[in-house]
């Protein structure tokens, strides 16, 4: 699993002109799932995300987690995070998981994130054409890949 975490002061998702998710302070998470991913990847990532200290404390130092600041989260599925760009100019997506693999892992990721955060997480809609808006706070953008646990 691969995620792009963006610390936001606000974010939202619109599908077919209808706002389906909106948050203030928190995280916008773009989630890419590949065929080799498992529920263990989901567990490792969700724990890491909720505890990641990327919010400012009283001194302005990134020392607080999304949980510490009582922030909200939006999760958006994004198969393009597994784009392969080595050959030519058209990205390949053969590493991205197919729906039958990706959807259960996507739902597992959301459930585990809600359990770790101890509150509901908002989402886009898997496979939909979504319009994502955000105000990246900082900007703070972090890439995490469960296959590269450093």
Tens-digit pLDDT string for the chain (150 aa): 999 999 999 999 999 999 999 999 999 999 999 999 999 999 999 999 999 999 999 999 999 999 999 999 999 999 988 888 888 888 888 888 898 999 999 999 999 999 999 999 999 999 899 999 999 999 999 999 998 886
Give the CA-trace dihedral at 127, 16, 130, 140, to 10 degrees: -150
46 among known catalytic residues? no
Regarding beta strands 122-123 and 72-77, do their DSSP bridges make them parallel or antiparallel, or are they unpaired?
Answer: parallel
Catalytic residue, candidates 6, 46, 55, 78: 78
91 falls within a domain: yes
101 among known catalytic residues? no
78 among known catalytic residues? yes
Tally the domains of the chain.
1
Catalytic residue, candidates 6, 46, 55, 79: 79
Rounded Cα distance between 116 and 43, Å, is: 9
148 falls within a domain: no
Rounded Cα distance between 148 and 134, Å, is: 27
Q: What is the CATH number of the domain that holds 19?
A: 3.50.80.10
């Amino acid at each position: 699993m691969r995620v792009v975490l963006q610390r936001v002061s606000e974010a939202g998702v619109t599908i077919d002109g209808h706002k389906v998710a909106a948050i203030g302070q928190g995280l916008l998470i773009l989630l890419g799932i590949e065929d080799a991913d498992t529920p263990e990847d989901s567990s490792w990532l969700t724990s890491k995300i909720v505890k990641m200290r990327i919010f400012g404390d009283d001194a302005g130092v990134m020392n607080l987690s999304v949980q510490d600041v009582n922030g909200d989260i939006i999760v958006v599925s994004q198969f393009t995070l597994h784009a392969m760009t080595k050959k030519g100019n058209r990205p390949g997506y053969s590493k991205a998981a197919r729906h039958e693999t990706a959807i259960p892992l996507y739902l597992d990721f959301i459930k585990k994130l809600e359990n770790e955060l101890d509150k509901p997480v908002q989402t886009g809609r898997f496979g939909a054409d979504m319009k994502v808006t955000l105000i990246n706070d900082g900007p703070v953008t972090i890439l995490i890949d469960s296959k590269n646990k450093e």
